[in-house]
Structure 1
């Protein structure tokens, strides 16, 4: 009674059904594809915190994106360029020690942020004092112009003095990372920071904020433009903010239910936001953790902190972004991957057609990952060296990992319409608990909005049969007198229809 080989027999002639939408075990994060200094830290941190390697691996990529975002672009071909920032989100249940992973990985970035702030404070004090002096001069010039009733020379001096104030720019305190921030505040910080910002959080509150928790309406503009590196211009009362290229990094850890919830949020998919995230859905190891794990070796921590801090510090001082190039071998690997991907995006025939909004961006994501791996190994002179074939191979492996997890994430979100329709049919069968049913009986019990015609039910029944939940009965012999043939009938798995079901 099963279309799947290898299932355990239930003892009633049926094999155990496969959960609807179930996929093969998802791959673990390929930490060995990261640079050695980061790979060693990620693996040791996962051991110390007893968390899936996926958590540390995804946050580590977000850390590299924080360091390099807005400071480099990849010149792929012709006018095609890619910025090097990423949006990553890893789903873990409560009590998974997400915060410990975030603290360990982002600590060097926050240390650099503090050091940069100390370095720039004297410049801020000097600029504020210079501005205060200029304001005093302008006030005196204004008074003289008033006293002389607008004498041309006095008026010109007052105008020049007022303009001099505007020419004195007070540097902003460096801020590389934000956490619980509204899109409006994030836009202000990003503009103050020359067009770059990272939102790194061990919670998923940013999704509720995007959906309009505070403003009452969704606001995705910064996050859409910040992923693509587009121009950002915001005009508000009393302030106009503008950057030629807004570069935003997102590194988030959320509970698995949040992944499903955001799919139903207004505009999240229609606006294209869901297609920009790199998803990770690792299996929780709660209940099997070692209560006395080995701590991260001190030398591994020291190497990680030194290398990441050096990368952040060096790249921070770049104003115009570095332009990275692909080696001919790396570019050929990119093209090979793109050629193999394209037919998978077909809306009817491709296995990724139902999530082409995500998969269509996966080549660009791989290029970005390759650039980050390249800069992690060459933070000082990466722009002088082409991205190698080995680096592109590692990036493709990471990209394939994210593709597998994105398929699971979009299935979790109900993004595959055929699976979602089959779930509705299975829900009807589970409620009714029939030992058998006909296609017409199923059609009569299902919503017309989803299944307007009897024929619309058939693909879902075929899918459920493939997963072992139902089995079609042999068709009865044709009535020699003619007439309409009886509706096809299905038997139902005893797990649903049997005693005690």
Structure 2
């Protein structure tokens, strides 16, 4: 079973109901109660991006959060280091992102990863091919100049006391050093150590994306090649744009005044547990910089006869990314209209109380650290959405002024990210007993057991769960959540005491409902739609009111708007 419980109904009150003495009268509490919205709010994207996310989701039969999360990373590749967002004087945020959808093996992460990022790899290849002649020429000129400098140096060595020969040698060396060989244009790196990342940033104007369909980069950060000593300085500074200066013996010093690193990774749940248990990564704030996404796996519910992503949509998507890269070839600072600034300020004021000790976004120190960057994440989303909306727009219609509707869309996405963050940090804190309880519950569901003894259960579980204390701890968790309860065990007059017996809640034995892979998305609003359409589709966020629960599917809503009665894109319970 998954670490995240995608329970579709309301979280029940185990102490309410008509009969307090009947355990079966109360629905069990979901294990972990880590509720996350399954559907990515693609309606917040420009039309071309929304259409692509929805087409990939359908064609590949994957969670929309996988396609949507990777698309946010793709938008950041050509924009990071070029576009900055000035919310107000003194508050400027870059647009690079660290995003990592989390899914188990065999969930088509790699094919989707390639589909979303391939147009950018193609642009990179084209730029390399175009730059190679100039690179070869500069490299040849430098080698020739270096050879001439060496000849002049040897001549000066032999001409003892000849100051003119020394001056000629010095001038030749300076001329050789002055020949600059441009680096190959580069968007991406993959299997790079933190030290190599610093060098790549220095060679490419501070702009780089680490993109990988696996989570091996976390092992590199943890010190795979440095005896387990984590080296996080580069990735911490490159997120915020803090200067990076590297001085090492035997190497030229490296200086990056304004780094902008993107991390676009797809990882497995085991990687999430690994980084969550790594004290240095958690303590120094690396995880607080990540947008982790925990969509439900679609394995076992996928259709096998789906058509591929239409070629027209793929071409449109590639064209828009190319236009985005060309549009932001120079540095740009986005500013806000007065309405946009007011909308953003209202969201800041709404978030701040949620960071207080004991509040929703401060239920653990790690979550509080993540939520402390939520306002900045919202600003980064504003930059990405504005830039994406400018892709392909005619030159005379371009603008660097952010409108209020873009802020509203960024706020919706940020709140969606916050719900995933809540689930992420609960999974990271999950105890082994909780994970074992999920496995035992799956065993009972598969065998459709109504009543069982501990001794009988031990014969049906895997070897690692047969330890008496470990199995009992898992059963205690299931009792606490109302899935099972202990029943009276008849005692024999002689012999060994009988094994404890438990009854299983009837809900566990019910046939599972047919769960669609994705609920129907809200219709995408055409490139941005008319102002009336946008206002209707995306109401302005303001103070929450009423119980935070989706009125359609019943799942809790972590961050809500006045008038919002369901999760973005929710079209009904499965």
Q: TM-score range by the shorter chain?
A: 0.7 to 0.9
CA separation of 1:349 and 1:32: change in aligned 2, threshold 3 A: closer
Residue number among 229, 251, 258 corresponding to 2:241 in the alignment: 229
SS at match of 1:254: coil
Residue number among 171, 184, 190 corresponding to 1:173 in the alignment: 184
1:297 positional shift = 1.3
Pairing 1:327–2:316 present: no
1:141 positional shift = 2.4
SS at match of 1:51: coil
Query: Is residue 23–residue 485 contact of structure 2 (8 Å, CA) maintained in 1?
Result: no
Pairing 1:85–2:96 present: yes
Structure 1 Cα separation of the partners of residues 257 and 482 of structure 2: 60
Count of residue pairs brought into register by the alignment: 438
SS at match of 1:89: strand
Paired residues for 1:416-495 under 5 Å: 495=484
Query: Is residue 15–residue 468 contact of structure 1 (8 Å, CA) maintained in 2?
Result: no
SS at match of 1:21: helix
Paired residues for 1:86-485 under 5 Å: 86-216=97-227, 217-239=229-251, 240-315=253-328, 317-318=329-330, 321-354=331-364, 355-379=367-391, 384-414=399-429
Query: Is residue 90–residue 252 contact of structure 1 (8 Å, CA) maintained in 2?
Result: yes
1:194 positional shift = 1.4
Structure 2 Cα separation of the partners of residues 104 and 493 of structure 1: 43
Structure 2 Cα separation of the partners of residues 61 and 195 of structure 1: 20
Provide TM-score, normalisation by structure 2: 0.71
Structure 2 Cα separation of the partners of residues 125 and 207 of structure 1: 35
SS at match of 1:324: strand
Return 103-112 or 209-218, whichever deviates more.
Answer: 209-218
CA separation of 1:302 and 1:411: change in aligned 2, threshold 3 A: same
Provide TM-score, normalisation by structure 1: 0.81
Q: RMSD value over aligned CA atoms?
A: 3.0
Which ranges in structure 2 are unaligned for 5 or more consecutive residues?
A: 1-11, 442-453, 455-475, 488-500, 504-574
Structure 2 Cα separation of the partners of residues 6 and 167 of structure 1: 81
Which ranges in structure 1 are unaligned for 5 or more consecutive residues?
A: 434-463, 471-491
SS at match of 1:32: helix
Return 367-376 or 379-388, whichever deviates more.
Answer: 379-388
Instruction: Tell me the equivalent position of 2:47.
Output: 36
Query: Is residue 182–residue 209 contact of structure 1 (8 Å, CA) maintained in 2?
Result: yes
SS at match of 2:192: coil
Return 372-381 or 2-11, whichever deviates more.
Answer: 2-11
1:153 positional shift = 2.2
Instruction: Tell me the equivalent position of 1:458.
Output: none
Query: Is residue 374–residue 387 contact of structure 1 (8 Å, CA) maintained in 2?
Result: yes
1:423 positional shift = 6.9
Structure 2 Cα separation of the partners of residues 271 and 12 of structure 1: 45
Structure 2 Cα separation of the partners of residues 180 and 87 of structure 1: 16
> Deviation string for 1:337-377 (max 9, x for gaps)?
11011111012344435221000101111111111111112
> Deviation string for 1:12-60 (max 9, x for gaps)?
4651330343044524210111111111111101111110111010000
